[in-house]
Each structure stands twice: as C-alpha cells, then as structure tokens.
Amino acid sequence: MESIRFEELGITEPILRAVKDMGFEEATPIQGQAIPLQKQGADVIGQAQTGTGKTAAFGIPLLEKIDPENRKTQGIILCPTRELAIQVAEELRKLAKYMQGVKVLPIYGGQDMRTQIRSLKGGVEIVVGTPGRVMDHMRRRTLKLDDVHTVVLDEADEMLDMGFIEDIETILAQAPGERQTVLFSATMPEEIQEIARKFQRDPKLVRVLKKELTVPAIEQYYYMVKQKDKLEVLCRLLDMYNPKLSLVFCNTKKQVDDLVVGLQGRGYFAEGLHGDLKQNLRDRVMLGFRSGHTDILVATDVAARGIDVDDVEAVFNYDIPQDEEYYVHRIGRTGRAGREGLAFSFVVGREIYKLKDIQRYCRTKIQERRIPSVSDVSRVKTDLILRRMEETIAQEDLGKFVKIIEGKMDGGEYSTLELAAAFLKTFLGEEGEEIDESPVGATGRSERRGGRRDHDRDHDRDRDDSSEGMVRLFVNLGKNMGIRPGDIVGAIAGESGIPGRLIGSIDMYDRYTFVEVPKDQVNTVLRGMKNCKIKGKPISVERANVRK
C-alpha cells in the first residue's frame, strides 16, 4: 500500500508538529482518504476497523476549522461511551497542543453537572460527549449550538446498538443547517445509512476494505487445547512472552469472571471487564490497565469494543470468537498503527473449522504451535533475561554496581560465575529446578508462575486445600537454603513439643515452606518457634494468609 505523508494532506504547521510529537510517521489509509475530503468541506462517511486512526481522521480537519477567537462551541463529537469521549478528547487535545486557545471538553453522564456547566461557561470550542448528556445541556441551554459548524458521529454503529439513535436525530435536527456532518463507523448497518441520508448532504463514502484490516505486523498463532487446560496454557504463554500488557478475550461474562479468579489465584495482575460492571468499576479497571497496574485485561467483545490502549503486546482468544469479524476486532488491539503484536488463539476440538473460516474471511494465516512445555517457558524466559542483560551492559553505566559486586567477591566464597548464575535463577523465579516436562495437566503445586511479580504474592496465594482441623503455617525457609522437610518437622516437634506425627502436609518451595499443624496446637507451635534456628538460619513462622 502506498504511504501517505501528513505533509501531503495540506495540514497546517501546528498540527503537523503535534502529529510528529505523537509519533505518527505517516497517515493511515482512512486518514489519507478522509482528511482531504473534509478539508474541502464535504460531508463524509468513513468506514474502517477499530484501531485505524479514525479519531485523527476527523479530529485534524475539525481542528483546522476552529476559530480560536470565537469562544463559542463550534464542533460537537458524539461518542457512545464515557470512556470513548474521554479518549477522543485526549487525542484531540494532543493534536491541538500547538494551537492557541482551542478548548476540548468531554461531557458524559455520571459526571457532576455543575462542574460540566462551569467548564462550558468558560468557553469550549469542541465538545466531545455522549448523546444523552449533550441533549441534557442543550435543554438547559448550557450548551448552545448556534455556532456549531461541524458535527461528528464517532462509532456510529455502537451508538446505534446502545439505543442513542433518537438522541442523535434530535441533536442533528437542532444543529445549524449550514454545517458539515461527518460519520465514522466500523460497520454500516441500514439504520446508520438512514441517518446519513437524512442528515448529510451528498456524503462521500470512504472505506478501508476488510482485507486490509489484518495488520501484517501481527504474528498469529493457534494452539489445540483441551478446555480444562486453557488456563495452564495461557499462563505458560504469559510467562514465556512476558507481554507488557495483554488482552484476553472470552465469549461470556462468566468465563471472564472465572478466568480472572484463576489468574489472580496464580499471582497474575489480571482484571476483568464486561457489561455487568458498574461504570465506576469499569473506569477503575481501565485506569489500572492504562497505568500498568494491571498487566492482563480479560474482557468480552462488547466490553472491549472501542477501548484504545497503546502497548498491548499480546491478544489472546481464550475462546474462539463466535463471529469472524470479532477476530479482526480483537487482534486489532495489538500491533496498533504498525507496532509489533502477537495474537494467540486457543482451539478446542471442532472449533478448528471455525478457525479455518476465520482465516478465509480475514485472508490471513494463523499458524499452529505446539503447547510450550514448562522447560520451553523457562528457556525462552532465560533468553529474554539474557538479552536484557546484554542491553543493560551495552547502555548503562554499571560502575556503582561493579563496586558492590567486587566487595562481595572479596571474601572469595564463590565465583562471579556462581553469582551471575544465582542472579539468573532469582530472576527466573524458581523454575530452574524440577522442570515438569510433561504436557499440560500434570503441573506440580510447587511450580511458580508469573516470574516478574509473583514474589509479592507468594504468601497470600489461595490455599483452601488445608485439611480439616489443620492450620497452614508459612515458614521463611525453603529448599534453596539446604533445608529438608525432615528438618522442619524436627524443629517444630523439638521446639514446641508436639509429636511429629501430628504435623500435616509440608509443601516445600525454593524460598519458603507451607506446613500444616493441628488447629489447637497453632499457638504452641508459634510460641515454640520464636527465636529458633534451623541449620543456623533464623526461622520465622506465621499463619499463612488465606483469602476471603
């Protein structure tokens, strides 16, 4: 496809500078086609997939038309949700960074009316709002449309789905007749075409065809899995690729909830998003994801629609989407605007036929991959870590750290090689030992997951499998310290005086151990273990946290 430079689109200097700051190298196809038409003053219907840069496609020509001297509202952008209104307003503000005196305000239901009224009174050239709230302000005369020369309907099909059609008609009917009306949508259902016929003048249709939808930079793979193994496979892939942000798609709300519980139980930072969540909770989840507090967002198609987060490095189709078009929507969340991305699909049994349909429909190749074994995960993680080390060595000033290590080496207890190996092992988590080579399903309890952050979660992993009448204790020593289960039994029995046979199951990990003792002996054991040592190492015992 030929590339279009923003300079060729006749865009003014301040916006060109802003676009450069935003890191856009060239215009996307929809931008290349829609911007010139709008600049000529035409009404436009733009149809293109999510993630194709539609916001700038209408935002740039709209900003160019704004007269900053006139404080009155000149452009109205209607969006289906509060999240989108905020996103669009943010994108426009970025584009307007070097323009003097252009105010962009998102208005949406749920936000305090008085705050919005105060902001509107201060003079706002561009209002980005949900239809309901825009109408509210029109009724109160806190938003006047007299000077509006452009109305944009963004995600028109989504607004239709949400039942905003009448509101939109009301707003369009009250906007000045001499205006430009621009409509963007991923799909063009009949009702949308109807709106176009009724409210646009001789609209020009701009379309980016489906076959261009699948971004080639996205590597797409599928795994044949059993339903019950999906969580395990997902975890292995997450560990292996360690994506900064991941989106996991499920077909149902219940699956979203179940998967979030499963992932959190394994120490991953995952949150769910679906239609049943209250708006403020949705906002919180999205904020967490954008700010990087949440690494993994699990969502249904509807809930994820229109969400725009950069840096999504991997998309997982935990369930194969029912609708082929959803596949394109889903994987379009990664590899945005030419970035690299990965898409993984889990296929159960006969779903392979659905996957074949998807490949035909999207004209794309989805390659089969073997489910990674635990040792595959470990190897890839090791590679990633070593590569990062190489970058650090090449790019960073290590003087201070070299000194620290030199100090450590003075004792001559171990070699730098051993020290480096220990660092690698620590980085890897504890997968260096007892690698489970078996295919999915037979994973041991002592396996550790989610290398980066699992350490923080070690203590409070859900442990509802304690035996009746037993209490699980956390002991700060593990295999790595050369401790054996017998040492722990011996210490507990010896120091607290309870018979060894009363001590229940012992789960020993590299750095700590869980041990069960009878409920009525807990305090005796905790008291007895104070200030004691095993093999010269101070031992600390406390109740293991159980959630709920």
Question: What's the half-sphere exposure (Cβ side, CA atoms, 13 Å) at 37?
Answer: 22
Separation of alpha carbons 508 and 506, rounded Å: 6
Q: Does 324 bind ligand ADP (CB under 6 A)?
A: no
Least separation in angstroms between CB 455 and ligand ADP: 33
Q: Locate tokens 């151990």: which residue?
A: 513
Please, which residues bridge with residue 344 across strands?
Answer: 221, 316
Neighbours of 400 (CB within 10 A): 7
* Cα–Cα separations (whole angstroms), residue 17 to 11, 97, 218, 399: 10, 9, 29, 39
Sign of the torsion formed by the C-alpha atoms of 312, 316, 322 and 328: positive
Q: In what order do the strands lie in the sheet with 312-317?
A: 270-273, 296-299, 245-249, 312-317, 341-347, 218-224, 367-368
Least separation in angstroms between CB 90 and ligand ADP: 9
* Sole binder of ligand ADP in the list 52, 73, 214, 521 (CB under 6 A): 52
Q: Which is nearer to ligand ADP, 333 or 461 (CB)?
A: 333
Q: Which is nearer to Mg ion, 38 or 220 (CB)?
A: 38
Partner from Mg ion, ligand ADP, none binding residue 337, C-beta < 5-8 Å depending on class = ligand ADP
Partner from ligand ADP, Mg ion, none binding residue 56, C-beta < 5-8 Å depending on class = ligand ADP
Separation of alpha carbons 510 and 267, rounded Å: 17
Q: Does 277 bind ligand ADP (CB under 6 A)?
A: no
Q: Does 93 bind ligand ADP (CB under 6 A)?
A: no
- The helix or strand, by DSSP H or E, that contains position 236, with its residue range, turns out to be helix 230-241
- The helix or strand, by DSSP H or E, that contains position 181, with its residue range, turns out to be strand 180-185
Q: Which residues have C-beta within 8 Å of that of residue 468, sequence separation ≥ 6?
A: none
Label the pairing between strands 470-475 and 513-518.
antiparallel
Q: Is residue 508 classed as helix, strand or coil in its secondary structure?
A: strand
Contact 81, 306 (CB under 8 A): yes
Least separation in angstroms between CB 184 and ligand ADP: 7
Q: Which is nearer to Mg ion, 54 or 236 (CB)?
A: 54
Taking CB under 6 A as the binding criterion, the range among 51-59, 63-71, 203-211, 515-523 that sits at the site for ligand ADP is 51-59
Least separation in angstroms between CB 157 and Mg ion: 11
Least separation in angstroms between CB 407 and ligand ADP: 47
Taking CB under 6 A as the binding criterion, the range among 26-34, 73-81, 388-396, 446-454 that sits at the site for ligand ADP is 26-34
User: Binding marks (x or -) toward ligand ADP, 333..372, rule CB under 6 A?
Assistant: ---xx-----------------------------------
Sign of the torsion formed by the C-alpha atoms of 168, 169, 170 and 176: positive
Partner from ligand ADP, Mg ion, none binding residue 24, C-beta < 5-8 Å depending on class = ligand ADP
Q: Site residues for ligand ADP, window 292-311 (CB under 6 A)?
A: 308, 310
Taking CB under 6 A as the binding criterion, the range among 52-60, 100-108, 191-199, 321-329 that sits at the site for ligand ADP is 52-60
Contact 474, 526 (CB under 8 A): no
Label the pairing between strands 150-153 and 218-224.
unpaired
Token pair in block for residue 303: 């809930």
User: Binding marks (x or -) toward ligand ADP, 55..74, rule CB under 6 A?
Assistant: xx------------------
* Sole binder of ligand ADP in the list 33, 50, 81, 150 (CB under 6 A): 50
User: Binding marks (x or -) toward ligand ADP, 431..470, rule CB under 6 A?
Assistant: ----------------------------------------
Q: Outline where 332-398 has alpha helix (H).
A: 351-362, 374-395
Contact 331, 248 (CB under 8 A): no
Q: Does 214 bind ligand ADP (CB under 6 A)?
A: no
Least separation in angstroms between CB 259 and ligand ADP: 25
Least separation in angstroms between CB 123 and ligand ADP: 26
* Sole binder of ligand ADP in the list 15, 18, 27, 215 (CB under 6 A): 27
Least separation in angstroms between CB 217 and ligand ADP: 12
Q: Is residue 432 classed as helix, strand or coil in its secondary structure?
A: coil
Partner from ligand ADP, Mg ion, none binding residue 300, C-beta < 5-8 Å depending on class = none
Partner from ligand ADP, Mg ion, none binding residue 294, C-beta < 5-8 Å depending on class = none
Least separation in angstroms between CB 169 and Mg ion: 21
Q: Which is nearer to ligand ADP, 31 or 73 (CB)?
A: 31
Least separation in angstroms between CB 328 and Mg ion: 15
Least separation in angstroms between CB 489 and ligand ADP: 57
Partner from ligand ADP, Mg ion, none binding residue 21, C-beta < 5-8 Å depending on class = none
Dihedral, CA of residue 7, residue 13, residue 14 and residue 15, to nearest 10:
-20
What is the DSSP secondary-structure string of 34-103? HHHHHHTT--EEEE--TTS-HHHHHHHHHHHH--TT--S--EEEE-SSHHHHHHHHHHHHHHTTTSTT--
Separation of alpha carbons 359 and 366, rounded Å: 7
Q: Which is nearer to ligand ADP, 56 or 517 (CB)?
A: 56
Residues touching ligand ADP, count (CB under 6 A): 17
Which residues bind to ligand ADP, rule: CB under 6 A? 24, 27-28, 31, 48, 50-56, 91, 308, 310, 336-337
